[in-house]
Amino acid sequence: MTLRHRLGRARAHVHDWLGANQRARQRLDGSCAAIIFYHRVLPRDAARRDAVEPGMFVTPESFSHQLDWLADCFTLLPLHEIVERIGANAALPERACALTFDDGWRDNLEYALPELVRRRLPATLFVVSERVGSDAGFWPDEVCRRLARAAPDANQRVRTGFGLSGGGDLAQCALAYLKRLTEAERSAALDRIRELTPEPAPRPRELLDWAELEQLAAAGVSIESHGATHAMLTGLSDAEAADELRCSRERLREHGHGRHALFAYPSGDWDVRVSRLAAAQGYRAAFTIDPGLARIGADRFALPRLGVHQDVSSTRAEFLYRVPGRR
């Protein structure tokens, strides 16, 4: 655990001891809801072995505890119900909350679903339609795995070649740099990284297939859109972004999913232009990764969510400091 995380944990526990976490939950007074998003639910050893970004997973043990804390302190609702009430300017239950997952990882089925079913809790999974059943993950995972396997001199060439000067974790610096590029620029940069680093070791399929999505849906998990290819939409033309939005929705509907026409922006990347394109493609609401509470009467195409991962949520005090979020 880094010094930053130690300080964050200490701050959360002080807030909890002072009653600040409990007072924060009083903000959920029927005028707003907390929407939580996860990515992966994965044992720590597996996350370490596969070079999973620290901010991308919680352990199954932490996830189980978090669901207990949520059930104890919040009113869990289906995401689409919160959207309906926001759109209709209708009051929400006090301490309203919804659970979401991004990307469509198989570990959501293996580790998250049994815990949700055990507690009869609703959830929404945003999937990347063209990656369903694919052996390939996403480019950030490839970058992390390549850099984890690379020799020090190769990593130094990556750092120098992309101007990633200074300290800090190389993988995190590289991902931050790559996310600032356009799709075409990022593609070229990824090709250069592939030239400099070794091929990641083969691994079992990590993304859900359509049959597995059916299992989730049958257990009460709503399957909604996270784009066709996970392209960052602000870097695309109007036509390209509209195609990402339309193709994803159509593919999901072919398989009986996307029933509530909800969309989560890939990588949380959005702007007003993209939100208008999402509305034009028939979506009813779209979700960012900007922290905050979803308020009645808010723009339904810029609804904030609260991200949860292992390093910021492994204790009750930390979790309840993050959800519903401090001012």
Query: For residue 326, is pLDDT > 70?
Result: no
Q: What are the pLDDT digits (tens) for 157-186? A: 999 999 887 667 899 999 999 999 988 899
pLDDT (0 to 100) of residue 166? 67
- The answer to whether residues 37 and 184 belong to one domain is no
What are 221's strand-pairing partners?
123
- The answer to whether residues 173 and 266 belong to one domain is no
- The answer to whether residues 124 and 154 belong to one domain is no
- The answer to whether residues 73 and 21 belong to one domain is yes
Domain hosting 38: range is 3-135+207-322
| CB-based burial label for 26 (10 Å; 0-12, 13-18, 19+) | exposed
Query: For residue 241, is pLDDT > 70?
Result: yes
Total domains in the chain come to: 2
**Percentage of residues in the chain with pLDDT exceeding 70?**
98
What are 97's strand-pairing partners?
34, 76
User: What does DSSP say about strands 32-38 and 294-295: parallel, antiparallel, or unpaired?
Assistant: antiparallel
- Domain holding 261: CATH number? 3.20.20.370
What are 263's strand-pairing partners?
225, 286
Average pLDDT over residues 212-239: 97
Instruction: Choose the final residue of a domain: 163, 196, 229.
Output: 196
Closest Cα partner for 104 from 194, 221, 187? 221
Average pLDDT over residues 201-227: 96
pTM equals 0.94
Neighbours of 184 (CB within 10 A): 9
Angle at 35 between CA 321 and CA 119, to 5 degrees: 90
pLDDT (0 to 100) of residue 202? 86
